[in-house]
């Protein structure tokens, strides 16, 4: 007797960065953050979970390699939390009759979990976000949990902070919250993808090497050593969040882009202000920054009028760039990027385009 659930979950790329925890067990952040969820057609994690009476232990294979579930607190926390909700369903007599959970005490059975990313793991491409989102969504489906996406986002948050935002499509905020229990720290959808369908993301894979400093350890050193960080959390992020949400709701691309670029730059400045400093961007990343500013300062050849801000870069804990732009500018951007970074000249540079630029 076996039951199985299979899901795919998308990657999300923050425009207001999450960096810093106030509780590292419950994964509660020092600030709220906001991201766009990318289309799952391009980058995703696929996770299949099987429950059986015959399994002897919970086991998980990530990209074909077994991970130790018992020693990973994050994995065990997510599984334990989902199991606890399943147990509640099984013991709640009102529900038991309707879903026949009595004969299926799934909360007591062990699980085998198979998870695959279709993109490089730990290259600053938020693999933990889609990974834990897929794990929690698959558990919820398998266990037939009666929780909404916001409640599920609290479970995936226990796996990796940014994962809570991958429980939704479109423009998503993770409300940092204040409660020590984490009850008010969850994700919700600010606007669905359909609100701004012309918004696209270009993923430029500068390097798919494993990054040097993990987000988890990097942000912990930042919290302990950076003096710029406190200022960012207290007075900068709240204003930016408010402004970027307004920009999203009113389709104001240039405000959206300016805040996105400034927040990425400040995140990397805070990394450099960390002691010892952390560097995530490399020379190719920096060249991309210059290229985007060049693109944004172009003048119209006939009228000499500025063409305006038409693209925004953002970088996470690695050298890869994500460029947000509206669909009508993507072709020109791709041409420009291919001109400056032809694959033959920059071997390390590979871009997932032209098809990987939709946001979900
Ligand atoms: C730079 O979510 O990977 O991508 O909560 O420790 O698992 P943990 O960290 P993680 O950090 C992501 C940091 C970031 C910014 C962001 O996605 O908001």
**Cβ of residue 132 lying under 6 Å from some atom of ligand 1:** no
Nearest CA to ligand 1 atom 3: 215
Q: Is the pLDDT of residue 348 over 50?
A: no
Q: Is the pLDDT of residue 254 over 60?
A: yes
Q: Which residue has the higher pLDDT, 25 or 283?
A: 25
User: pLDDT digit string (tens) for 263-319?
Assistant: 999 999 999 999 999 999 998 899 999 999 999 999 999 999 999 999 999 999 988
**Cβ of residue 36 lying under 6 Å from some atom of ligand 1:** no
**Cβ of residue 280 lying under 6 Å from some atom of ligand 1:** no
Q: What is the DSSP letter of 235?
A: I
Q: 173-176 long-range CB contacts below 8 Å, 24 or more apart? A: 173/32, 173/33, 173/34, 173/241, 173/245, 174/18, 174/29, 174/32, 174/33, 174/34, 174/35, 175/32, 176/28, 176/29, 176/30, 176/31, 176/32, 176/33
Q: What pLDDT score was predicted for residue 338?
A: 80
**Cβ of residue 185 lying under 6 Å from some atom of ligand 1:** no
The dihedral built from the CA positions of residue 228, 13, 128 and 4, taken in this order, carries a sign that is: positive
**Cβ of residue 317 lying under 6 Å from some atom of ligand 1:** yes
For residues 330-357, average pLDDT: 58
Residue 335 pLDDT grade (very low, low, confident, very high; cuts 50, 70, 90): confident
Nearest CA to ligand 1 atom 6: 216
Beta bridge partners of 2: 52
Q: Is 150 exposed, middle or buried (0-12, 13-18, 19+ CB in 10 A)?
A: middle
Residue 210 pLDDT grade (very low, low, confident, very high; cuts 50, 70, 90): low
**C-alpha 341 – ligand 1 centre gap (Å):** 28
User: pLDDT digit string (tens) for 83-97?
Assistant: 999 999 998 866 656
Q: What pLDDT score was predicted for residue 66?
A: 96
* Extended strands (E) in the chain: 2-10, 12-16, 21-23, 28-29, 33-37, 44-52, 59-62, 65-67, 110-117, 171-175, 186-191, 199-205, 311-315, 321-326, 350-352
Q: Which residue has the higher pLDDT, 323 or 124?
A: 323
Residue 171 pLDDT grade (very low, low, confident, very high; cuts 50, 70, 90): very high
Residue 211 pLDDT grade (very low, low, confident, very high; cuts 50, 70, 90): low
Nearest CA to ligand 1 atom 7: 160
Maximum separation of any 2 CA atoms in the chain, in Å: 75
**Cβ of residue 173 lying under 6 Å from some atom of ligand 1:** no
Could you give the count of Cα atoms lying within 13 Å of 142 in the half-sphere of its Cβ?
30
* Rounded distance between C-alpha atoms, residue 99 and residue 94, angstroms: 10
Is 161 in a helix, a strand, or coil? Answer: helix
Is 231 in a helix, a strand, or coil? Answer: helix
Rg (CA), the chain: 21
Is the interface score ipTM higher than 0.85? yes
Q: Which atom of ligand 1 is the closest one to the Cα of 29?
A: 5
pTM above 0.90, yes or no: yes
Q: What pLDDT score was predicted for residue 137?
A: 98
Mutate to test the pocket of ligand 1, among 162, 176, 213 (most ligand atoms within 8 A of CB): 162
**Cβ of residue 72 lying under 6 Å from some atom of ligand 1:** no
Q: Which atom of ligand 1 is the closest one to the Cα of 13?
A: 17
Q: Is the pLDDT of residue 344 over 80?
A: no
Residue 15 pLDDT grade (very low, low, confident, very high; cuts 50, 70, 90): very high
User: Is residue 13 a contact partner of residue 204, using CB atoms and an 8 Å limit?
Assistant: no
**Cβ of residue 40 lying under 6 Å from some atom of ligand 1:** no
User: Is residue 206 a contact partner of residue 284, using CB atoms and an 8 Å limit?
Assistant: yes
User: pLDDT digit string (tens) for 113-152?
Assistant: 999 998 765 445 657 999 999 999 999 999 999 999 999 9
Residue 203 pLDDT grade (very low, low, confident, very high; cuts 50, 70, 90): confident
CA 82 to chain centre: 21
| Of 259, 319, 316, nearest in space to 287 by CA | 319
Average pLDDT over the chain reads: 90
Residue 339 pLDDT grade (very low, low, confident, very high; cuts 50, 70, 90): confident
Q: Collect all residues with Cβ–Cβ distance below 8 Å to 58 and sequence separation of at least 6.
A: 69, 70, 79, 110, 111, 112, 113
**Cβ of residue 216 lying under 6 Å from some atom of ligand 1:** yes
**Cβ of residue 281 lying under 6 Å from some atom of ligand 1:** no
């Amino acid at each position: 007797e076996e039951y199985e659930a299979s899901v795919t979950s998308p990657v999300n790329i923050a425009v207001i960065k999450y960096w810093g925890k106030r509780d590292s067990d419950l994964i509660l952040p020092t600030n709220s953050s906001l991201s766009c969820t990318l289309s799952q057609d391009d980058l995703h994690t696929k996770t299949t979970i099987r429950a059986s009476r015959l399994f002897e232990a919970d086991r998980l294979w990530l990209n074909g390699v077994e991970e130790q579930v018992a020693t990973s607190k994050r994995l065990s926390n997510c599984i334990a939390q989902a199991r606890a909700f399943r147990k509640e369903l099984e013991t709640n007599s009102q529900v038991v009759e309707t879903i026949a959970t009595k004969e299926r005490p799934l909360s007591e059975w062990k699980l085998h979990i198979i998870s695959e990313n279709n993109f490089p793991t730990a290259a600053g491409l938020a693999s933990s976000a889609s990974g834990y989102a897929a794990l929690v969504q698959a558990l919820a489906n398998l266990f037939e949990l009666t929780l909404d996406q916001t409640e599920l986002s609290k479970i995936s948050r226990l796996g990796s902070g940014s994962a809570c935002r991958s429980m939704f499509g479109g423009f998503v905020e993770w409300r940092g919250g204040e409660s020590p229990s984490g009850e008010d720290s969850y994700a919700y959808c600010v606007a669905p993808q359909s609100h701004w369908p012309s918004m696209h993301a270009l993923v430029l894979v500068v390097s798919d090497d494993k990054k040097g400093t993990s987000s988890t350890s990097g942000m912990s050193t930042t919290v302990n050593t950076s003096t710029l960080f406190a200022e960012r959390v207290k007075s900068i992020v709240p204003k930016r969040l408010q402004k970027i949400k307004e920009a999203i709701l009113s389709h104001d691309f240039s405000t959206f882009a300016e805040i996105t670029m400034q927040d990425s730059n400040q995140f990397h400045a805070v990394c450099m202000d960390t002691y010892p400093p952390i560097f995530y961007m490399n020379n190719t990343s920096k060249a991309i920054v210059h290229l985007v500013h060049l693109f944004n300062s172009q003048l119209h050849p006939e009228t000499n009028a500025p063409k305006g801000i038409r693209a925004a870069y953002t970088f996470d804990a690695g050298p890869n760039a994500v460029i947000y732009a509206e669909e009508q500018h993507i072709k020109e951007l791709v041409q420009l990027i291919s001109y400056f970074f032809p694959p033959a000249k920059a071997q390390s540079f590979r871009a997932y385009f032209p098809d990987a630029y939709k946001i979900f």
